[in-house]
Amino acid sequence: MSNGALVILFPVAVAIIMLGLGLTLTVEDFRRVVRYPRAMVVCLVSQMLILPAVCLGLVVAFDLRPEFAVGLMLLAASPGGSTASLYSHLFKGDLALNISLTAVNSVLAAFTLPVIVNLSIAGFMGADSSLGLQLDKVIQVFAVVLVPIAIGMAVRARFTGFAARMERTVKILSVVVLLLLIASVIAGMGKDILNALGEIVLAVVAFNLISMALGYFGPRLLRVGERESVSSAFEIGLHNASLTIAIAMSPTLLNSPKMAIPSVTYGFVMFFTAAVFGLLVARRARAASPAPGRMVAPGRV
C-alpha cells in the first residue's frame, strides 16, 4: 500500500471508529455522571492515573524494547471501546455506566493520550526522538477523536431513528476496521511479526488481566456495587485497540508499525481473556449471593 494511501487510511479509520461511538452517545450520558459519583471517580482515577503507572511497571519488569514500551503505554492511555459495553451487557454490568465512562474517557483521552505518549517516547527512546506527537499532531489527535464524536452525537440528536438503525452497522464496520488495521501491521512487518508477538504477548496478557482486576476489585474495596464494578472492570480492562493501532501506524502521527504491535496482540487476546474473566466474576457473584429462600443470620452479610 502506498504511503499516500496510508496517510488517508489511518485518520479515516480513527474518524470512523469515533463517529460510530458518537452515534451511541447523548448529552444525557454525560449528565448521568453525577448519578454515579463514587463509581465514576474510582473508574476515572484508575483509568487516568493508576493504570499508566501499572503499565509502566510492566514495561520495566518485562524489559520491553523501546517501541513496544511506547506502544503499550499508548494502549494504557486509550479509552475503552465498544467491546467493553458488549461484555458488560453479557455479564450483567451497568451498561449505562459503561456508556458514560466511554463518553467521558474519550473526551479526556484527547488531552491525556498525547501527554503520556510524548513522555513515554522521551523516556524510552530519548528526548531527541522525532517520533513524538508535536503540537500539530496533538491538534490532529484532538480533531480526529472529538470532532467525529461530536458529529455522531449531533446526528443522533437530530435523526434518532437513523442513528439507532446505524448502530449495528457501525459496530460491524468497527470490527472490520480493526481487522484491516491488524492486517496492515502484519503486512508491514512481514516475517518479523512472529518474533515480535512472542516478545510482547506475555506483557500484553498481564496488562489486560491486571487492568480488569484493578477495574473490578478497586471499586469493590471502596464499596461500589457489584454491577457497577463489573462495568468498571471491562471499561478499564478493554481498551480501544483500533484507535491506538491507527495512531501508531498513521504516517502523519507516530508512523511506527512496531508501536502498533502491543495493540495488535491486545486486539486478539482481549476477547478470550475478557470472556474468562467475566465467567469468573459471575461465578464469584453467584457464590456470594444467598440462595433463594435461604435465611441469613442477624448480623451476618
In the chain the domains, ranked by start, together with CATH numbers, are 3-285 (1.20.1530.20)
Q: Could you report the per-residue pLDDT of 114-138, keeping only the tens digit for each? A: 888 888 988 888 755 555 555 665 6
Q: What is the DSSP letter of 63?
A: T
CA angle 210, 171, 193 (to 5 degrees): 55
**Contact status, residue 259 vs residue 196, Cβ threshold 8 Å:** no
Helices (H), the chain: 3-22, 27-31, 37-45, 51-62, 66-77, 82-90, 95-125, 135-158, 160-189, 192-221, 226-237, 241-249, 257-288
Per-residue pLDDT at 206? 94
Q: Is 80 helix (H, G, I), strand (E, B) or coil?
A: strand
Residue with cell 484508575: 46
Q: Is the dihedral of CA 95, 101, 107, 111 positive or negative?
A: negative
Given a cut of 50, is residue 263 above it in pLDDT? yes
Confidence of residue 169 (pLDDT cuts 50, 70, 90): confident
Q: Is the dihedral of CA 90, 95, 97, 102 positive or negative?
A: positive
- Closest by Cα among 40, 12, 78, 2 to 267: 78
Residue 80: what are its φ and ψ, rounded to 5°? -70, 160
Mean pLDDT of the chain: 78
Confidence of residue 190 (pLDDT cuts 50, 70, 90): low
Given a cut of 90, is residue 295 above it in pLDDT? no
Per-residue pLDDT at 298? 45
User: Which pTM was predicted?
Assistant: 0.76
Q: Could you report the per-residue pLDDT of 37-70, keeping only the tens digit for each? A: 788 888 888 888 899 999 999 999 999 999 999 9
Residue-by-residue DSSP string for 222-262 = TT--HHHHHHHHHHHHSB-HHHHHHHHH-TTTT--HHHHHH
